[in-house]
Amino acid sequence: MAKILMKGNEAIGAAAIKAGCKYFFGYPITPQNELPEYMARELPKVGGVFLQAESEVAAINMVYGAAGAGARVMTSSSSPGIALKQEGISYIAGAELPCVIVNIVRGGPGLGGIQPAQSDYYQSTRGGGNGDYRTVVYAPATLQETVDLVMEAFDVADQYRIPVMVVGDGMIGQMMEPVEFKEPKKRDLPAKDWATDGTKGQRKPNIINSLFIDPKELEDHVWRLEEKYKVIKENEVRYETYNLEDADVVVVAYGTTSRVVKNAIAKCEAEGLKVGLIRPITLWPFPDEAFEKISDKTKGILTVEMSTGQMVDDVKIAINGRKPVYFYGRTGGMVPEPDAIVAEIKKIAGGER
Amino acid sequence: MAKVFEKTKGLTDKPFHYCPGCTHGIIHRLVAEVLEELGVLGKAIGVAPVGCSVFAYDYFNCDMHEAAHGRAPAVATGIKRVHPDSVVFTYQGDGDLASIGTAEIIHAAHRGEKITTIFVNNAIYGMTGGQMAPTTLVGQKATTAPYGRDENHAGRPLKVSEMLATIHGAKFVERVSVHNPANIRKAKKAIKKAFEVQLAGEGFAIVEVLSTCPTNWGLTPTEALKWLEENMLPYYPLGNFRTPEEVK
Ligand SMILES: Cc1ncc(C[n+]2csc(CCOP(=O)(O)OP(=O)(O)O)c2C)c(N)n1
Ligand code: SF4
């Protein structure tokens, strides 16, 4: 198929529909509005349903109902809206239902701003809602990668019965790039024989639930979820690395920040400095294994984020004290400049930090 | 010997956990009997609330989906949009529906969502130990209104049926009570109509059922029935607030 030039938010909608998403429940918030608007236009054409909910809380609970009923369903929002959805995400994770949630991140806290940021890293990767649970979190860096991951997200959600989040910063939502819609790799997807779609008098009632009054039963459930998360960790970690073997400094960055970092790395290389890159594509599961490939000659690791430093915690856990970890970040919707990153890299390479 | 009474197929064999004299059990049975009589158990999908009836998913003999506190109408919306031919109902307490979930119920009604809501008003939060609900009567004591509900402090009790009856998408709104056999029979009729409205594709239907909470009211089961009759009925008048022509 030929490449089409599309705006990020609309490309996400197109990818979801191509992946068989038939239901979308959302509530307006900048900078993701083109996505629900696209779904409102396009879903009815394929026999699907777009519904604008009265709030994010209602939207995610509509997703919960539709997912329980066996549908491929999606919602999207931006930071404060995702905060409201966390209650529902916890219930969906607890009841082990598949769905896809898109967060086009903007700056915070509170009402914050509407410019791109990465300050929802904790919110995405630490659960956000109550209880011991995880969601698979994808952080694409280009629109092509975004559509690939959105399409795959529905399969991953169905395979593991888990909510999958696709986290793009406002830049991913708003920019235009050429994209091509490709079938994701084939997976063996289990039948949805657990869905609440009516017994038709043919089977015992199905119950979608996350309540376990007996503490032992709840503990068993939580550990069973944990086992599932381990399997996901083994099979679904995604990352990109560059030049780890002989890097003086390794930079860790995800999403659009990684594109600025690549620019900075090219500038360093032009000056003869060897700089490596680890770009997590899954924020959860975090690509710990990539950090084992960092060579002994590396002087330090620089984490660059559009936040005051959130992923840097996971970087420190992954490197486990083997190398010093430094941080450079901009926040509030400010995007790091390549030159500023180059300056940080040079400080580490020159032993100034 | 001729069989004169049989338990409804709409309920499972699981024993109810409700306190002695609690009318949640009666209301469950009415809903279950209606589902069976309408022949829709096979396409019924119920949404259980948070509150004393949180285990409703174990009692109704049809597909059931548990919801977060107050969110049942949104969950039901998701289900109904995926399976428009199914019969979707929510079963909610007054804390669930009239407090934390007011936005969800109003907007489900507003959209004319083709679901049926059974709204159990016992004027108190049962499950969490007798705190004040939006429906607690003025002067009624609750653990968080220890001196009795003061209108100047907590407002007057919310009349949900009257409020929802102002919404166009709410096609059937009726308040009933289960404090004596005659009213129980009327309650069942209303519940049946509320499901018929859904089956006819009319829009949102709700039955508010006045119910007892002997445990948190601090009364015996018979005293509780009397209290309901003497105190709740004058403030929460029974009757139909909206009926589409077809099912009148
Ligand atoms: C988000 C959230 N807030 C609070 C609670 C605690 N909670 C459980 S039941 C309940 C009140 C239920 O009262 P009502 O809906 O009137 O039902 P009843 O128990 O009287 O039948 C509350 C506040 C909860 N489970 N979740
Ligand atoms: S606490 Fe009240 S509402 Fe709950 S089961 Fe007991 S009597 Fe019924």
Residues 152-181 on B with a CB inside 8 Å of A are none
State the number of CA atoms in the 13 A half-sphere of A85 facing the CB: 31
Ordered per-residue pLDDT tens for chain A, 353 residues = 689 999 999 999 999 999 999 999 999 999 999 999 999 999 999 999 999 999 999 999 999 999 999 999 999 999 999 999 999 999 999 999 999 999 999 999 999 999 999 999 999 999 889 999 999 999 999 999 999 999 999 999 999 999 999 999 888 999 999 999 999 999 999 999 999 999 999 999 999 999 999 999 999 999 999 999 999 999 999 999 999 998 999 999 999 999 999 999 999 999 999 999 999 999 999 999 999 999 999 999 999 999 999 999 999 999 999 999 999 999 999 999 999 999 999 999 999 88
- Closest to A282 (Cα-Cα) out of A144, A134, A69, A160: A134
Only one residue has tokens 């007996």, namely: A214
Whether the Cβ atoms of residue B98 and residue B189 lie closer than 8 Å to each other: no
Q: What lines the ligand 1 site, CB under 6 Å?
A: B 50-53, 69, 93-96, 120, 122, 124-128, 133
**Phi then psi for B45, rounded to 5 degrees?**
-135, 115
Provide, as residue numbers in chain A, all residues whose Cβ is less than 8 Å from the Cβ of B54.
211
Indicate yes or no: CB of B74 within 8 angstroms of CB of A59: yes
- State whether residue A213 is helix, strand or coil: coil
User: pLDDT of B97-127, one tens digit each?
Assistant: 999 999 999 999 999 999 999 999 999 999 9
Spacing, Cα A184 to ligand 1 middle (Å): 43
Nearest to B42 among A95, A196, A199 (CB): A199
Q: Is the minimum CB–CB distance between B53 and chain A shorter than 8 Å? A: no
Helix ranges (H only) for A132-214 are 143-160, 170-174
- Closest to A74 (Cα-Cα) out of A83, A62, A82: A62
Mean pLDDT of B18-36: 98
Q: Is the pLDDT reported for residue B28 higher than 80?
A: yes
What was the pLDDT predicted at B246?
63
Q: What residues contact B172, with CB distance under 8 A and at least 6 apart?
A: B193, B194, B197, B202, B203, B204, B205, B206, B207, B242, B243, B244, B247
Residue A19 to residue A26: CA distance in whole angstroms:
18
What was the pLDDT predicted at B139?
98
Indicate yes or no: CB of A23 within 8 angstroms of CB of B82: yes
Please indicate whether residue A353 or residue B61 has the higher confidence score (pLDDT).
Answer: B61
User: Can you say whether the dihedral through the CA atoms of A152, A154, A159, A161 is positive or negative?
Assistant: positive
Q: Which two tokens stand for residue A44?
A: 């009815």
User: Can you say whether the dihedral through the CA atoms of A125, A207, B96, A220 is positive or negative?
Assistant: negative
**Phi then psi for B205, rounded to 5 degrees?**
-135, 135
**Phi then psi for A52, rounded to 5 degrees?**
-85, 115
Q: What ligand has the least distance to the C-alpha of B211?
A: 2
What is the percent of chain B where pLDDT is above 90? 96
Q: Which two tokens stand for residue A184?
A: 């994701």
Q: What share of chain B is helix, strand, coil (3-state, %, to 5)?
A: 40, 20, 40
How many contacts (CB atoms, under 8 Å) link A and B? 135
End-to-end alpha-carbon separation of chain B, Å? Answer: 39
Spacing, Cα B117 to ligand 1 middle (Å): 17
Q: Which helix (H) or strand (E) holds A125?
A: helix A121-125
Written in H, E and C, the secondary structure of A47-107 is CCEEEECCCHHHHHHHHHHHHHCCCCEEEEECHHHHHHHHHHHHHHHHCCCCEEEEEEEEC
Task: Calculate the average pLDDT of chain B.
Answer: 97
Measured in angstroms, the CA of A347 and the nearest CA of chain B are apart by: 51
* Integer CA distances (angstroms), A193 to A198, A204, A264, B221, in order: 11, 11, 51, 42
Residue A289 to residue A283: CA distance in whole angstroms:
13
Only one residue has tokens 């519904």, namely: A51
What was the pLDDT predicted at A170?
82
What was the pLDDT predicted at A1?
67
Spacing, Cα B208 to ligand 1 middle (Å): 17
**Phi then psi for A235, rounded to 5 degrees?**
-110, -20
Residue A112 to residue A29: CA distance in whole angstroms:
12
Nearest to A58 among B42, B65, B74 (CB): B74
Measured in angstroms, the CA of A201 and the nearest CA of chain B are apart by: 5
- Closest to A263 (Cα-Cα) out of A155, A349, A335, A318: A335
Query: Chain centroid to CA B16: how far?
Result: 17
Q: Which two tokens stand for residue B52?
A: 């004393």
Indicate yes or no: CB of A54 within 8 angstroms of CB of B103: yes
Confidence band, pLDDT 50/70/90 cuts, at residue B233: very high
**Cis amide leading into A163 (omega within 30):** no
* Integer CA distances (angstroms), A133 to A28, A82, A210, in order: 27, 16, 12
Indicate yes or no: CB of B75 within 8 angstroms of CB of A64: yes
Confidence band, pLDDT 50/70/90 cuts, at residue B248: low
Q: Which two tokens stand for residue A13?
A: 């909608």
Spacing, Cα B216 to ligand 2 middle (Å): 7
**DSSP assignment string, B97-128:** IIIITHHHHHHHHHTT-S-EEEEEE-SSBTTT
Bridge partners (DSSP) listed for residue A138: A166, A282
Q: Is the minimum CB–CB distance between B103 and chain A shorter than 8 Å? A: yes
* Integer CA distances (angstroms), A288 to A312, A316, B222, in order: 12, 10, 65
CA-closest residue to ligand 1 atom 8: B51
Bridge partners (DSSP) listed for residue B121: B210
Q: Which two tokens stand for residue B94?
A: 């007054």
Neighbouring CB atoms inside 10 A of A185's CB total 7
pTM over 0.95: yes
Q: What ligand has the least distance to the C-alpha of B218?
A: 2
ipTM: 0.96
